[in-house]
Structure 1
Amino acid sequence: MPLALHLGTDDLTRCRFAISPLCQTHEALRLVRRPARHGYHQGWLRRMRRTVAGLDLAPLWLFIPPPGGYTPDFLGPPPEEPYPAIEDELARMRATDPDLAHAEMTRSLGGTPGLAESPRGRAALDDPVATVRRLADLTERAWRALLAPDWPRHRAVLEADIAHRSRRAADGGLDSLLTGLHPTVDWAGHTLTLRRYSDVPDAQPPDGRGVLLMPSVFVWPDVVSGFARPWQPTVIYPARGMGRLHTAPVPRPAEALARLLGPQRAAVLAGLTAPSSTTDLARRHGLAPSTVSAHLSILREAGLLESRRQGHYVLYGRTALGDALVDGDVRAAAD
């Protein structure tokens, strides 16, 4: 049966978004662990294959089972803040209650016959405090090797997804937001239904705390639900634009758009399928950074782009007007 979440009034008024670098790290590791799920990320996986092989993540792989298995929720608990720092999330992970860690690890190992009784399984369960510390250290190592170098671009894609869905909620209310999360997520009669997700007997039902919505670069093609007690009900879904983050060729602008803006400026606008820096755009389009910077300034002044600083970078992304112009929706652009 699908997983059905019945949301009360309090839950609906407390729906929120968050971006979790810790959860993204474990979703990336699940992608590496499950080769049938590669899909859009073949290029990233090829680049990371040697890096992953050198990390020696065997203790973590123990708790990242095949599809259908349970991964302990304390490895990536729902964040309490909208945009937590990885350091804060790792500190929270290291502070996991040993009894909770033992219970979740037992459940995870129990999905594979004999694994809990194996030497590795027994060692992990005999000292949950040490195991949690070791898993946090390995997670930090994986974060630094796999995600940290590209995190500004990843976070920009996730923030762009949240901005898009927030606009949908502003235009059409929560109904518009929840019906557009994913093709396998239904919303009707105050019930959020995940059709590809099996019913979970000990699922955490919505209880007035609201539902946490988290876009993910790596979760495709699934929607993941983290609902085991005591964590807040959470839905992790594929972010818009995640498939173009690493692999997509630069799109060619429509002829009409090129005539309107000029070929280079139109190409820069059309190429912003995910938020990018001036350096990224210059490399992708074969242009001088100064030329790209000039185009970006004009496009931003025209209301087609917005910019946001991420650490040492300034990332540019299309506004709703820019999206409408690139997509050829003349009426939406005029509005």
Structure 2
Amino acid sequence: MLRIEFAPADLVRLRFAHSPMVEVVTSLFVLNRPDRFWMYDGWRRSVGPALAGTPLPTLRALAAAPSCEVPDFLTPVPSGARPTLDEELRVIADTPLELVAEEAYRSWAGWPAPPEVARFDTDPAGALAELVREIRQYFTLAIAPFWPRLRAAAEGEIARRALTAAERGPRALVRGLHPGLDWDGTALLLGSAKERRGSLDGHPLALLPAAFAGSRVYSMTEAPTGRALWYAPRGYGRLWDSPVPRGSAADPATPVGSLSGPLPVEPPPALAALLGPTRAAVLTLLAVPHSTGEVADTLRLAPATASHHLTTLRDAGLVVGERFGRRLRYLRTGLGEQLGVGIGAPPARRP
């Protein structure tokens, strides 16, 4: 059990952010452990051919450390809510070289370090420059094609948590964050293989939703840049569903509340019986924020039909529209989450 001192006063300084580098690092975990992260099989198949011809030896060596720990300097705690990859890479590049070498070696403590890690001792500046170059290349191949949906999922998670805090108070925000995380009023309690204690040490706690985190919560309790927890946003299991291309929408003459053919998104039967299959499918889909056009595309609906269902769900208090940049996307409210218990949770364990 990891115990992080966290008093009610720390709630005031709690903040959210979405970090490109946390997505990079957690996605590397996904690549290295397909047995544990099987729900990302579609993503692995998609990026596999491009990555097969791209060695990335330094990045892979740090991400595949036998200790299962990654150097903290790779994931600097963001100073803002929406850092770019360039901003985070500048922080990484400015890390003191002695700290870079120390953390790189620590991740391989007890095992023979590969040449790529040993280089941090003999040529730390060169090794760090190569690492930054490899991160850019990896991000371009494996993350950038999916970045809009990753960012949208994180934005939706942040907005949903804000709604939770407004509706039920800030304590509900912390206690409902993840099944493996609890708060007893004085400390955050996180399941761990060994007993450990941590402290915020004067830092605010940053909560970093990361689509590649899977079912785990990761902690940073000693990094010079701050303290953070990484966890997956609600509905992350649906992020890898391929959207239906535009142009395949149902005939505009299709009656409101119905679809011709099978539903591309299958809602729970009880919810479909209550709301109707199409409206239930819309609510199911909104485990991750979607715009009206995205709902129409994914569910093969005419845009006017999608707009009608979203308006009805909004008027019933089940969804809310939030601005993400220039786009208006819809996500479920607390009431919508309660109505669809289990909707958007990770897929059931494979047999």
Per the normalisation by structure 2, the TM-score is 0.79
Contact 2:6 2:185 in 1 (8 A): no
Please give the per-residue CA displacement for 1:285-322, whole angstroms capped at 9, x wherever unaligned: 22344543555466556665444455675533233454
Matched, 1:61 2:60: yes
- CA deviations over 1:169-224 (Å, ceiling 9, x no partner): 33443432222222222211401121225345xx7621222221112211122111
Change (3 A) 1:225 1:57: same
Match of 1:273 among 287, 296, 299: 287
Distance 1:164 1:14 in 2: 18
* Residues 1:114 and 2:112 aligned together: yes
1:307/1:140 CA distance change after superposition, 3 Å: farther
Flag the 1:36–1:81 CA change in 2: closer, same or farther, 3 A. same
Distance of 2:241 and 2:212 partners within structure 1: 13
Q: 2:3·2:198 contact (CA, 8 Å) conserved in 1?
A: no
Cα separation, 1, equivalents of 2:288 and 2:188: 28
Mapped contact 1:278–1:315 kept (Cα < 8 A)? yes
Deviations 1:105-133 (A, max 9, x none): 1212325x111xx4333223212122222
Name the stretch that deviates more: 271-280 or 77-86. Answer: 271-280
Q: Does residue 255 in structure 1 map to residue 287 in structure 2?
A: no
Q: Please identify, of 309-318 and 204-213, the stretch whose mean Cα deviation from structure 2 is larger.
A: 309-318
Q: CA deviation at 1:92?
A: 1.5
- 2:3 match: secondary structure: strand
Q: Counterparts of 2:319 and 2:37 in 1: how far apart (Å)? A: 31
User: Is 1:27 the equivalent of 2:41?
Assistant: no
- Deviates most, 174-183 or 92-101: 174-183
Per-residue CA deviation, residues 131-173 of structure 1 (Å, 9 max, x unaligned), is 2221122112222222222222212212222222223333443
What amino acid sits opposite 1:46 in the alignment? Answer: R
In the comparison of the two structures, how many residue pairs are matched?
Answer: 318
Superposition deviation, residue 78 in structure 1: 0.9
Query: Mapping of 1:84-233 within 5 angstroms?
Result: 84-111=83-110, 113-115=111-113, 118-196=114-192, 198-199=194-195, 205-233=199-227
Contact 1:204 1:232 in 2 (8 A): no
Q: Which runs of 5+ in 2 are unaligned?
A: 243-263, 343-351
Equivalent residues of 1:204, 1:233 under 8 A apart: no
Change (3 A) 1:199 1:53: farther
Supply the RMSD in Å over aligned alpha carbons.
Answer: 2.9
How much identity, in percent, do the aligned residues show? 36
Residues 1:3 and 1:270: Cα distance change in structure 2 (over 3 Å): closer
Query: Shift of the alpha carbon at 1:62?
Result: 0.8
Return the letter of the residue paired with 2:215: P
| In structure 2, distance between residues paired with 1:7 and 1:179 | 12
Alpha-carbon separation, structure 1, partners of 2:327 and 2:54: 28
Q: Which of residues 231, 244, 264 in structure 2 aligns to 1:237?
A: 231
Amino acid at match of 1:246: W
SS at match of 2:62: coil
**Residues 303/16 of structure 1: CA separation in 2 closer, same or farther (3 Å cut):** same
Task: Give, in whole Å, the separation in 1 of the partners of 2:136 and 2:325.
Answer: 19
Q: Return the alpha-carbon distance in structure 1 between the equivalents of residues 148 and 90 of structure 2.
A: 21
